[in-house]
Amino acid sequence: MTTRIDCDTCVVRGLACRDCVVTVLLGPPPELTFDEEERAALDVLAAGGLVPPLRLVTPVVPPAQEELPGTGADGAASA
């Protein structure tokens, strides 16, 4: 018997991904993207208590570190 796992056909996709055994074993489903209009709509729904707030956290890219005199690109002291 073969079992086909397709997150696109899951009726609770998005709602139950966090504690789904498939997500635990195989990783999260592919990236989901929202444009600004969709994000604004989600904010309105969340403000009304109809959906949980979007918990999207984007990584912060640190500014490039300046190379100090007498150090290499990795910050290690040079001889």
Q: What is the pLDDT of residues 33-49, one digit of tens each?
A: 778 898 889 889 989 98
Measured between alpha carbons, how far is 77 from 2 in angstroms, rounded to an integer?
A: 58
Whether the model clears a pTM of 0.75, i.e. scores above it, the answer is no
Higher-scoring residue by pLDDT: 43, 60: 43
Higher-scoring residue by pLDDT: 34, 76: 34
| pLDDT value of position 44 | 93
Q: Is 32 left (phi over 0), alpha (psi -120 to 50) or beta?
A: beta
70 in Cβ contact with 78 (< 8 Å): yes
64 in Cβ contact with 58 (< 8 Å): no
Measured between alpha carbons, how far is 51 from 15 in angstroms, rounded to an integer?
A: 10
Burial class (CB in 10 A: 0-12, 13-18, 19+), 51: middle
pLDDT digits 0-9 by tens, 14-29: 787 777 777 667 776 6
